[in-house]
Amino acid sequence: MQWKAPIFIIIVLLLNGCSLFSTGSHEYSEEFILQAEKRAESYLRANYENVDQVTFNDEHSSPMGGLVIRGKVNGEAAFSLDIDDSLNVIAISEGTEFPEEKEACKDKTCNY
């Protein structure tokens, strides 16, 4: 009987500690998402060849505190861009048939 209170307190502290250290997702305003989409399109046009059209999905997520923007280039090549809270592109995942990187942008990210 004496162990119930300390065990309960330990469990509560552990659960509370987990929530403190979890990065979790947070909501972004529509304005921020629109700015992120503009930034993503600018990045794609600056760093890849023959980007004629960029479309975005309505599905956004924010694992680990950044925003993930998904869409297609030229109607068929899927992409996923990780964007931080300062609107910098920090990672890209390219689907099949994705345009080639511009030669000048292969060793460094071109300004966008």
More confidently predicted of 16 and 89:
89
Query: What gap in Å lies between CA 42 and CA 22, rounded to an integer?
Result: 32
More confidently predicted of 9 and 85:
85
The model's pLDDT over 22-78, given as tens digits with 9 standing for 90+, comes to 444 568 899 999 999 999 999 999 999 999 999 999 878 876 667 999 999 999 999
CA angle 51/77/82 to nearest 5° reads 85
pLDDT value of position 94: 94
Are the C-beta atoms of 100 and 49 separated by less than 8 Å? yes
Number of H helices, E strands in the chain: 2, 4
pTM of the entire predicted model: 0.73
Question: Which neighbouring-strand residues pair with 93?
Answer: 80
Are the C-beta atoms of 79 and 97 separated by less than 8 Å? no
